[in-house]
Structure 1
Amino acid sequence: MTIKLDSEVQFLKGVGPRRAEQLARLGIKTVGDLLLHFPVRYEDRRDIRAVAELKEGETQTVRGVILSFTETRLRFGKRMVNAVIKDATGLLRAAWFNVRSDYLSKKFKPQMNIIATGRVQLARDGTSFEMHHPEIVVVEEGEDEATGGILPVYPLTEGVNQNTMRKIVSAALAGAPALPENLPLPLLAKLHLPARDAAVRLLHHPPKDTHPQKLATFRTVAHKRMIFEELFLIECAMAVLRSRDTDRARGIAIEVKKEHLDGIISKLPFELTPDQKNVLDEIVADISCPHPMNRLLQGEVGCGKTVVAAVAVTLAALNGYQAVLMAPTEILAEQHYKNITRMHGAFSLKTALLTSGTKKKDLIRERAANGEIDLLVGTHALIQQRVGLKNLGLAVIDEQHRFGVMQRAELIKKGASPNTLIMTATPIPRTLAMTLYGDLDISVIRTMPKGRAATETRVIKPSELSRAHVLIHREVEKGRQAYVIYPIVEESEKLELKAATLMFEEYRKNIFPDLRVGLVHGRMKQDEKADVMAKFAERELDILVSTTVIEVGIDQPNATVIMIEHAERFGLAQLHQLRGRVGRGTEQSHCLLAIQYPMSAVAKERLKIMTQSTDGFFIAEKDMELRGTGDLMGTRQSGLPTLRVANLVRDFDILVAARKEAFELIKEDPELARPECTALRKEMERNWQERFTLADIA
């Protein structure tokens, strides 16, 4: 059978139906998919040391023969497995703790040729060397020659090991036709990049003379080519979106009268920060133009983005246009509704709330369709087909990463090219903003309102919980309030997490019997949640035990303490979001990160960063470094393809170059009509037509 790139992978030698099902879990369905399943790192077998040449304290590689396996029982039921490895110069002991010898003996047999890599330590006798938990690879006949001494290490799934994956990929490389080029040849020549097929083959089988540092940092010419391709395709889509926004039908130009703007600002109970004023100027300039505004507003937790949005929607309403504000949760939507209603009361504007829990939905829809409502605040309920607007001039989307691309598009379709303001309280690293939102103008609010005290953040060990409870009690005695956050609703033996529902009773009855303790979680009915949140807002509760339902946007300036249980289980961005629930007033606030052991090295690093900085943009950069960029900020739901080889932190220089080339190309050839762009056009259609709503590229 002739193998083609679109052939099902099961027909490849060594695969078959069962293994094809396993590969499908990795997104590999065709031979072409397999060729684009790239190594995540490489084992460099070229620098192999003799046992007699090993140096203590260094990670090194030896090649030898397994002589034996022995198991030793230790105290407390633990065990140690020893293997003796021999080469021509001596013996090396390998040791594994708490690993069954029968498990290792199934993988490795005496007299097997192996390569062992690990940190070299001096044995107890003071004369020989040993490695603890070394990585062992069986050397099969001809394998070194096939890889040039460099082994690719692939992402795997259950049932598929590295040797199997390497053999399957090698079979595909040997039998499949060349991958077609998808980038313009003049561009490749300009940037001195290899053809796609050559680059892919080099990624799987690096040449024997490849520099180790370039392999480790993904800076071989093959890596540069494929990283550039991934980022260039994304930036081309961003450039097309920007071009389309500029060239499409005229938008709604809202004539902003100075007396309206001054009148709104004068009604605010506080002075705007310089950043808020600058962003308002940018928004006013945008909505006054005939082209639709398409702006992303990002800023620190509690920096005052909502106030800016409230001023913008009020301006739209005062000039005869309708505005909508979509929030991800009913709690946040209700909060926005209450705050904006107070502002609109001074201008006799009509505001309505539409969520799944709203009564008289039909009446609100009818009034919105007739133009009788100036501002409609709501949740996903706003994008239902039955919701119509007569004269939509401004759409505001809060906490944008909580919504998918299609949901945002549905809201914007409620009007004829309305102005759009997208807000996020999750600071976005520059690289990610360029990638995810390259088609948007970006505004940033960095300065905090005057009088805000920095939040003190500390890690609370299990032995220190009582001290944390004392601090909470002391703050409540001062008239303040506190949050206690748990990551789940019900007990889970697997995760060993405390349930908010059980701990609520513990707090109410035993820890703080003299205080008023409330509970809110995601499985409560909306009216129940609203009732608890209202009591907390009115200071009828001292402590609110909650799941992460309060992560987004809840504003209670009187709350000065938040204790996050099992903080080691949360990501950096989520921890920072939760910390933002306090520190909203003038009083000193406290964020207590209560931990449980054991804790991973990454978790320790997250907590260290939290205690060192309250800068959301710094934390966002660190979060991306720790987590990578595969699905950061909801990348998958945004419609972007998963990055196979590019990393937005590591590859920022390539991202900048890709963006420059993409925007220049689309500016010169917006339809990709040139002959050399034919393949690129087809690649764009294939990648974006369905998943990023770019059908008009075709």
Structure 2
Amino acid sequence: MVEFSKTTSIKDIEMTINSISSFHLTDLNGVGDQTVKQLNRLGIFNIVDLLFYLPYKYTNKSHITTIQNLELGNKQVIEITVEHKETQNFRRKISTITGYDETGVITLKFFNTYGSFLKQFEVGKKYKFYGDIKHSSKGMELIHPEIIKEKDFIGIYKEKLFPAYHLTEGLNQKKLYQLIIQALDLLRLKTICFEDNFQKYIPSYCYNIEQALNILHCPSISEPIVKLENFQHNAHLRLIIEELSAFYLSILKLKNKNLTHQSYQLKNPLRDLESSFLKNLPFSLTNAQEKVALEIKNDFKNNFPMKRLVQGDVGSGKTLVSALAALHIIQSGHQVALMAPTELLAEQHFHNFKEWFSPLNIQVGLLLGKHAPKKKKSILNELFNNKIQLVIGTHALFQESVNYSSLALIIIDEQHRFGVAQRDALLKKGISGNIVPHQLVMTATPIPRTLALSAFKELDVSVIDELPPGRTPIETVVFSNTKRLELIKKIRKMIEVESVQVYWVCTLIDDSETLEAESVEALFRNISSIMQDISIDFIHSQMSSEKKIEVMNKFNQNEIKILVSTTVIEVGVNVPNASIMVIENSERLGLSQIHQLRGRVGRGTKKSYCLLMYQEPISEISKKRLEVIRSSTDGFFIAEEDLKLRGPGEILGYKQTGDINMKVACLFRDANLLVKAQEIAKNIYQEDKENAHIIMEKWSKYQSSDIKN
């Protein structure tokens, strides 16, 4: 084991870390190219991955239970003398063994066995089996049990709980376990070692990393199974608390790095644009909007650039808050760029900001990839000469030909639609030496606190947790798609009597036999054939930008009554007269996505409805999820429930959570340890920068194979 002292250099530590991380799987006995491929499918690329591939379940195969004492529904080991054996061919081949011990008789059944299967068992001899105990009209039964060999019973199963791992095709539990045992032996023999420079910070957790891994892979029968399976054993906690602390150290490092940059200095404004802007609004800001706007204003007072994420539920007024941020930059003589994920949303933002900013004599520009060369050249010249103070666009904003005069703030709308590289590409357009633009990223997809911490750890987080007054309540109804015809009749009547407008969303663009979801155009034809005198159109992401904008403008002007669409309309589209949202195959969408779609209605004065259709049969988990969305309009509650039911990757839509690259910890499961880990990390970072670096490097190396692959 490496001992760390004041004279230990970071280079020495990195050599040790690299040495263990680069140890090859093929150095283990029994590992060839095929096994390497199987391990890779499990995310195991080196010895460290193998050691941190922890069991999800444990079984006690060290104790023999007599037939008389067997408990129904539990898995147990029995030892019986074979009395009779036979194979019967019904609809499938069933091999049966009848056996006994000194307390009773039991029947064992094996399904779909090969021809010589029963030859391995001799009548009159004793054998051990492990499996679920059932009861039938003929007495006790063991269904397709595991055959336990004597060498295993006195070897790997003796006085130990046997671990179960998630597997892949071609790799069984015993083979994987044997490979992990080899890796543990390398630790024991000091062929490889884990540097343990963290133990002194957590004296209450008495294990070092090597001891913790040995307990988790090879626990004695005295260890509590429930704690092991729930990742609550002290051996788990020992690893989790260090990994979370390393995670927090990386956050501190990122934020400290940001402090070394300078921000654009905001001069004393010649005129107070904020006051003029607010006076022109026909409403007042909510308390939540004022709070977040003040947080941003205070960020601008710092000497280092702002990096802030603003979360807000659908319709909470995030765009208005971003407008206030933009005004502070513009009145100091600098420029702002707002990047939206779609041209449709960029156009809508352009019209809103132009309406807000034109009375203030602020020039707002729109830069899209579809612009003709002449128009694009004119916009680029105005940007370069600072005649455009706010430019709105999509990916076109960071193309090579785009140059800004003084880009001091970038605003990213619906940030989860962009990669980090795209955000950085726009940021670089405003970097001048050590001066870096402020960053404001926004999302209308409520993200639970733990996920926001993981996915956007370098950002400060603000939450607009209040909706403006006057929003029309939305009634959500869930029903089977077998009632579609009945629904169409009701909607037709509402269109004729109340002149309502309807979004009708399906989940796919092209026909799919696998998912059995109707495509947009097929659904459009279906509804049009039933309501021939109603104006209906469709929109989806494969259409040209011009066509999409044309259709949306017609819908906005009430020339279209029913708009059949994909989820392309989930973000930013604002048609106050639209009061009905129908979602086909709603069980296939994430709850946050359904909540986003639902937020497209309820923006006017009419009673609004969100009608969720599902395809039968529907699973229990889908029923639970739809009940959550039916019973709540709180986006953050819905996101938390969706996280519990579907996991972090599903919530964010992309692999943006730190959980994906964590070896042992899970931010959601281990939320109760976050405060403790944060305190430990803060103390280490303040008192021992070198050790902080070592701990971060250590866990970064442990996680590197997952990240690279």
Normalised by the length of structure 2, the TM-score is 0.86
Change (3 A) 1:687 1:14: closer
AA paired with 2:129?
I
Q: Give the one of 425, 445, 448 matched to 2:467.
A: 448
- CA distance in 1 between counterparts of 2:417 and 2:593 reads 13
Paired residues of 1:351 and 1:376 also in contact (CA < 8 A): yes
Q: Which residue number corresponds to residue 642 of structure 1?
A: 661
Q: Give the one of 594, 599, 621 matched to 2:613.
A: 594
Matches within 5 A, 1:275-674: 275-359=288-372, 360-415=375-430, 416-477=435-496, 478-510=498-530, 512-629=531-648, 632-633=651-652, 636-637=655-656, 642-669=661-688, 672-673=689-690
Paired residues of 1:639 and 1:692 also in contact (CA < 8 A): no
Q: Give the one of 202, 216, 227 matched to 1:214.
A: 227
Structure 1 gaps, min length 5: 74-78, 694-698
- CA distance in 1 between counterparts of 2:452 and 2:541 reads 30
Bigger Rg over Cα: 2
Q: Which residue number corresponds to residue 139 of structure 1?
A: 148
- CA distance in 2 between counterparts of 1:18 and 1:296 reads 45
- Cα distance per residue 1:117-139 (max 9 Å; x no partner): 37x5x53x3x73557xx684443
- Cα distance per residue 1:658-690 (max 9 Å; x no partner): 122223322334xx32xx446325336647999
Note if 1:252 corresponds to 2:265. Answer: yes
Cα displacement (A) at 1:414: 2.1
- Secondary structure of 1:346 counterpart: helix
- Cα distance per residue 1:170-217 (max 9 Å; x no partner): 23323453432254342243x425222222222222232111221121
Paired residues of 1:239 and 1:438 also in contact (CA < 8 A): no
AA paired with 1:101?
N
- CA distance in 1 between counterparts of 2:342 and 2:534 reads 28
Paired residues of 1:254 and 1:287 also in contact (CA < 8 A): no
AA paired with 1:393?
A
Change (3 A) 1:406 1:201: farther
Cα displacement (A) at 1:368: 1.5
Change (3 A) 1:85 1:428: farther
- CA distance in 1 between counterparts of 2:637 and 2:185 reads 46
Q: Which residue number corresponds to residue 194 of structure 2?
A: 180
Change (3 A) 1:4 1:237: closer
Paired residues of 2:662 and 2:703 also in contact (CA < 8 A): no
Q: Which residue number corresponds to residue 153 of structure 1?
A: 164
Q: Greater CA deviation, 15-24 or 170-179? A: 170-179
AA paired with 2:176?
M
- CA distance in 2 between counterparts of 1:85 and 1:517 reads 69
- Secondary structure of 1:514 counterpart: coil
- Cα distance per residue 1:61-103 (max 9 Å; x no partner): 4545695665644xxxxx796866756344556789xxx7358
- Cα distance per residue 1:212-243 (max 9 Å; x no partner): 22112111122112222332222111111122
Cα displacement (A) at 1:505: 0.8
AA paired with 1:161?
N
Note if 1:680 corresponds to 2:695. Answer: yes
The share of aligned pairs that are identical, in percent, is 35
- CA distance in 2 between counterparts of 1:680 and 1:462 reads 54
Q: Greater CA deviation, 140-149 or 371-380? A: 140-149
- Cα distance per residue 1:224-279 (max 9 Å; x no partner): 12222332222111111122223433543364688422211121233222211222
Q: Greater CA deviation, 321-330 or 435-444? A: 435-444
Change (3 A) 1:314 1:476: farther
- CA distance in 2 between counterparts of 1:378 and 1:592 reads 33
Q: Greater CA deviation, 372-381 or 287-296? A: 287-296
- CA distance in 1 between counterparts of 2:478 and 2:119 reads 44
AA paired with 2:164?
V
Alignment RMSD (CA, Å): 3.2
Paired residues of 2:75 and 2:130 also in contact (CA < 8 A): no
Change (3 A) 1:689 1:80: closer
- CA distance in 1 between counterparts of 2:97 and 2:705 reads 57
- CA distance in 2 between counterparts of 1:627 and 1:104 reads 43
AA paired with 1:146?
I
Paired residues of 1:69 and 1:105 also in contact (CA < 8 A): no
- Secondary structure of 1:146 counterpart: coil
- CA distance in 2 between counterparts of 1:420 and 1:182 reads 38
- CA distance in 2 between counterparts of 1:27 and 1:427 reads 30
Note if 1:27 corresponds to 2:47. Answer: no
Paired residues of 2:273 and 2:331 also in contact (CA < 8 A): yes
- CA distance in 2 between counterparts of 1:44 and 1:254 reads 71
- Secondary structure of 2:648 counterpart: coil
Task: Tell me the matched-pair count.
Answer: 670
Paired residues of 1:71 and 1:101 also in contact (CA < 8 A): no
Structure 2 gaps, min length 5: 1-18
AA paired with 1:404?
G
Paired residues of 2:312 and 2:463 also in contact (CA < 8 A): yes
Q: Greater CA deviation, 475-484 or 354-363? A: 354-363
- CA distance in 1 between counterparts of 2:698 and 2:317 reads 42
Normalised by the length of structure 1, the TM-score is 0.87
Change (3 A) 1:280 1:343: same
- CA distance in 2 between counterparts of 1:343 and 1:596 reads 44
Cα displacement (A) at 1:618: 0.8
- Secondary structure of 1:397 counterpart: strand
AA paired with 1:166?
Y
Q: Greater CA deviation, 660-669 or 58-67? A: 58-67
Cα displacement (A) at 1:296: 1.3
- CA distance in 1 between counterparts of 2:371 and 2:659 reads 34
- CA distance in 2 between counterparts of 1:336 and 1:71 reads 70
Change (3 A) 1:661 1:4: closer
Change (3 A) 1:466 1:682: same
Change (3 A) 1:617 1:63: farther
Q: Which residue number corresponds to residue 236 of structure 1?
A: 249
Cα displacement (A) at 1:439: 3.4
AA paired with 2:222?
D
Change (3 A) 1:648 1:639: closer
Paired residues of 1:184 and 1:677 also in contact (CA < 8 A): no
- CA distance in 1 between counterparts of 2:70 and 2:492 reads 59
- CA distance in 2 between counterparts of 1:80 and 1:513 reads 58
- Secondary structure of 1:553 counterpart: coil
Cα displacement (A) at 1:641: 5.3
Paired residues of 1:253 and 1:290 also in contact (CA < 8 A): no
Paired residues of 1:84 and 1:91 also in contact (CA < 8 A): no
